[in-house]
Amino acid sequence: MSKQSWNFKYTDFFSLGVLIFGAFIVVLPLLVVFVTSFAPSGTSLEILPNNKWSLANYRDAWQRGNFLLAFANSTLVAVAVTAFQIVTSALAGYALARLKFRGKQALLLIVLATLVIPFQLLVIPIFLVLKWGHLINTYGALILPTAVNGFGIFLLRQYFQTIPVELEEAAAIDGANRLQILWRVMLPLARPALVTLFLFTFIGEWNDLFKPLVFTTRPELRTVQLALAEFQEQFTNNWSLMMAAVAIATIPVMVLFLIGQRQFIQGIATTGMKN
């Protein structure tokens, strides 16, 4: 075997070792959460409990946090916001990618500028608008403030630019209008970008604590993150119970990401190929 092939194998093993180490660092916090969640209630935070593991913490956390209601609210809000963002991002992204109109570049810069403005800076004007519209303590207060997002618009705009224009021209020759081209040609081809936007938006809304905390006070509108916040006590913490609650709130988004990870990676890899 040549020296060159030996060097190639050595670099492969080194890269594999680095990747395994990095994966271990990422997975370690999740390992601590799940293992501690099976420890007897009231014990200190530990990685490998000596006592017998039990599912009692999951049962107690589910009942105490009323996660059935919290899951329903978080799912409703996340799905609604995701649907709004996909529709608005597809329409705006297609317009910025294909249509020619005055002020197009300036509008794109404004969309990009919104990405650097923290949502917390806008909370007061948004609160006043929601109060004026009598939307405080409603699902509208949790959905409408993030129904449009500059990241989604830019993501789909970049992906649409990677699709050959000839496909649209062929559809136009067959008599399709702009909306039909978008619906029947562009969106099916942009599936990886749509899945990426779906995952980013859904997971972001599922993990959002700020909007429910500021815009709602009704217990029936409590989301998963508000339910988790109730497990945090001022002076003492039941770590096993808290970790069980964290695991309950984490498992749905983990499963969702695992289902869509291939399309997610493809969408990230192919977005931004054209300016």
Q: Are 86 and 94 in contact (CB under 8 A)?
A: no
What is the predicted pLDDT for the residue at 226? 92
Comparing 151 with 6, the larger pLDDT belongs to 151
Average pLDDT, the chain: 85
Q: Quick check: is 90 in a domain?
A: yes
Domain span including residue 148: 66-270
Residues of the chain with pLDDT > 70, as a percent, come to: 85
Mean of pLDDT values over 28-35 = 85
Higher-confidence position of 237 and 73:
73
- Whether residue 206 lies inside any domain: the answer is yes
Which residue blocks in the chain are alpha helix, DSSP H? 3-37, 56-64, 67-98, 104-113, 123-132, 139-143, 150-160, 165-173, 178-181, 187-189, 191-206, 210-215, 224-229, 239-270
Q: How many domains does the chain have?
A: 1
> Is 185 part of a structural domain of the chain?
yes
Residue 26 has pLDDT above 90, yes or no: no
What are the helix (H) ranges across 1-41?
Answer: 3-37
Is residue 209 one of the residues assigned to a domain?
Answer: yes
For the segment 223-231, the average pLDDT, to the nearest whole number, is 89
Is 275 domain-assigned?
Answer: no
In a domain, 174, yes or no: yes
198 pLDDT tier (thresholds 50, 70, 90): very high
128 pLDDT tier (thresholds 50, 70, 90): very high
CATH of the domain at 78: 1.10.3720.10
Instruction: With respect to residue 35, please indicate whether it lies within any of the assigned structural domains.
Output: no
Condensed to tens digits (0 to 9), the pLDDT of residues 76-121 reads 999 999 999 999 999 999 999 998 889 899 999 999 999 998 888 8
Q: pLDDT band for 1, please (50, 70, 90 cuts).
A: very low
- For residue 154, being part of any structural domain is answered with yes
